[in-house]
Amino acid sequence: MLKMFSTQINGLFKKIMEGEEFAFEDCARLLAQASIGDGTIYMHGFGEMQGILAEAICGEEPFPNAKPLYDESNTQVSLSIADRVLLFSRHSDDKEALKLAGQLRHDGIPFIAISTKIPSAEHSLDQLADVHIDLRLQKGLLPDDNGNRVGYPALMAALFVYYGIKFTLEEILSEYEQD
């Protein structure tokens, strides 16, 4: 079972990499504006996607210029138009994520959303975000004995995207420092 899962997750990563190649670049450029200027990159994950923040803030290699969008008392930090926000959600139609995205859009704060695009959704993060990266994870990766699909690695897919954005941003910042 683990070997099949490994094969499927590698296929998912390849689909994300190939299908979202330009979006990675666009994300990194948008985030570089905050890193190079007077802004800060704020991050927030909904549900299990909160794991991204642990990696970005407390991990071995922290995300450049990143801070949590909410403080210890769960109050949203004050944002300026120089700041950028990175949102992670399982699905593009998540109600809480859409509420925050609408607020950011209203306030003129550029933001990036990472989620699985739900094609049938009336309201979707990909419609609101300046840049959206689709996790392309519509169902579990493996069939079980009852015909269901299991193994829905949303956080793993989001971490893959996180690293793609991080590496691309670091390349841009490195080139900027050399100039």
Max CA distance (Å), the chain: 59
According to DSSP, the residues that pair with 68 across neighbouring strands are 43
Q: Say if pTM beats, i.e. exceeds, 0.75.
A: yes
Q: How many domains does the chain have?
A: 1
pLDDT, position 93? 97
Number of neighbours of residue 76 by Cβ within 10 angstroms: 14
Please state, in angstroms and rounded to a whole number, the distance separating the CA atoms of residues 62 and 73: 22
List the structure tokens of 15.
């689909």
Write down the pLDDT at residue 178: 79
Measured distance CA(65)–CA(35) in Å, rounded: 6
Question: In the prediction, which pLDDT does 176 show?
Answer: 85
pLDDT tens for the 179 residues of the chain, in order: 899 999 999 999 999 999 999 999 999 999 999 999 999 999 999 999 999 999 999 999 999 999 999 999 999 999 999 999 999 999 999 999 999 999 999 999 999 999 999 988 889 999 999 999 999 999 999 988 898 999 999 999 999 999 999 999 999 999 988 76
> Which range of residues forms the domain containing residue 104?
2-178
pLDDT, position 121 = 80
State the pLDDT at residue 177: 82
CA dist 158 and 14 (Å) reads 13
CATH code: domain of residue 88? 3.40.50.10490
